[in-house]
Structure 1
Amino acid sequence: MKYIIMFLFLLVLISCSSTISTSKKEYQISEKSKLEKDWKYDPKEWTLENQSLNGTGSPEHWAGITSKKDLPENYEITFEINLTSGNLFEVMLNFEGQNYIRTYLYNIDQNIFIGRGIYDKNSDEYGKRGGPTILKKPFDFSSNVWHKVKIQVQNKQLQFIVDENTSLVCSLEKQNLSQKGKIGFLTNGKVQMKNLKIKTL
């Protein structure tokens, strides 16, 4: 009986946690009910099918989804993405208010980027989404190809790695980037995402 009570207490602590991930467990989206409970999104733009998170946006309206809980201070995010149309897929890091860190892949410029972002979910006006670039590196970002993404923030250092061999690194403090907040995803086309894992480091 004592172990059952302890287990239930731990479950309550995890569910009441202010972060989307704990050191004891990786966060994953595996069920529609979990998506609905943990994320803010328009169900016309984001769906979960066969454990694949699918987003549908357009150049005029970027489809956005954001977590309801904050990322931990130090974290690792891994997933695979396939952009089937459009040219932009973006991970919003430490999203707070309207500001966030941009980590994104852009197939017109064929680069990966780290930048400073702004996102107003109620406006599609130019200047109310995206933002200036801080770092970029050439990358063959092909459509209809699965790419592996890994993002780490540890000791205020951000590392953004794509397909295990293209990476960008920057200091949150030196670049005056947001150091806390939620995670989100943006696309101006159609994207599939699978094997999303978020864990505390």
Structure 2
Amino acid sequence: MKIKYIALLALSLIMISCTTTISTTKTAYKISNISKLKSDWIFSPKEWFLQKDTLTGTGGPMHWGVIESKKQLPKNYEIDFKVNMTKESLFEVMLNIDKEKYIRTYLYQIDQNIVIGNGVYNKNSDEYGKRGGPTLFKKPMTLENNKWYSVKIRVSNNQLYFSVNNETFLECFLEKSNLSQQGKLGFLTNGEAKVIDLNIKTLQ
């Protein structure tokens, strides 16, 4: 009986490790099916949808497509995923969303940079000044449409690390840069972007 219990536990852990999840210190949830996407995220189905294991977002220059988690990110976390900007120039990971403020971590084709910035997002307005925000740190990187990029983001002990393809990276301290220290997660696009292999885990 004990051996059967251990085997069942090991199988459960293996299955969890192979799914797309967002984890907090207390709970974990999948975005591998549409019902969980609807229950755990805030979004317009005209802007974001899930097909098989690919999360696709659509927006435009005048109205960015945004999806936001309902759950808080843990204080220390690591995010890994792959993204493909199939149309237009901007894909953004919105970190630590707290009311209308958040941390901008994004890939920007027009400037050919990866960027960390201080962001603001007003859900009810597309006016200039009520979305986006100033750049704090940037690093040049060649970015193209229809190409997959591996993104890693880590927040640990008040320090943010953001890298693309394990070769171009930025780092900063949240408090020193006056950045939001805790909140929710979101994704934003001004065209079309596809996200796969999303994995978010709690760091001790």
TM-score (norm 2): 0.87
Do 1:92 and 1:103's aligned partners in 2 also have CA atoms closer than 8 Å?
A: yes
* Residue 186 (structure 1) aligns with: 188
Separation of aligned partners in 1, 2:52 and 2:88: 22
Please tell me the residue identity of whatever aligns with 2:177. Q
Separation of aligned partners in 2, 1:91 and 1:73: 17
Regions of 4+ moved over 2 Å = 22-28
Separation of aligned partners in 2, 1:33 and 1:25: 17
Q: Secondary structure at the match of 2:23?
A: coil
Root mean square deviation of aligned Cα: 1.7
Separation of aligned partners in 2, 1:181 and 1:21: 13
Do 1:103 and 1:114's aligned partners in 2 also have CA atoms closer than 8 Å?
A: yes
* Residue 55 (structure 2) aligns with: 53
Aligned length, in residue pairs: 184
Please tell me the residue identity of whatever aligns with 1:71. L
* Residue 13 (structure 1) aligns with: none
Q: Secondary structure at the match of 1:191?
A: strand
* Residue 110 (structure 1) aligns with: 112
Instruction: Please report how far the alpha carbon of residue 27 of structure 1 lies from its aligned counterpart in structure 2 after TM superposition.
Output: 5.1
* Residue 135 (structure 2) aligns with: 133
* Residue 70 (structure 1) aligns with: 72
Separation of aligned partners in 1, 2:124 and 2:26: 36
* Residue 37 (structure 1) aligns with: 39
Separation of aligned partners in 2, 1:145 and 1:21: 28
1:154-173 pair list within 5 angstroms: 154-173=156-175
Q: Secondary structure at the match of 1:36?
A: helix
TM-score (norm 1): 0.88
Alignment partner for residue 24 of structure 2, among 22, 37, 45? Answer: 22
Instruction: Please report how far the alpha carbon of residue 170 of structure 1 lies from its aligned counterpart in structure 2 after TM superposition.
Output: 0.1
Structure 2 gaps, min length 5:
10-21
Instruction: Please report how far the alpha carbon of residue 21 of structure 1 lies from its aligned counterpart in structure 2 after TM superposition.
Output: 1.4
Q: Secondary structure at the match of 1:148?
A: strand
Do 1:26 and 1:197's aligned partners in 2 also have CA atoms closer than 8 Å?
A: no
1:196 aligns with 2:198: yes
Do 1:28 and 1:196's aligned partners in 2 also have CA atoms closer than 8 Å?
A: no
Separation of aligned partners in 2, 1:43 and 1:22: 25
* Residue 152 (structure 2) aligns with: 150
Instruction: Please report how far the alpha carbon of residue 87 of structure 1 lies from its aligned counterpart in structure 2 after TM superposition.
Output: 0.4
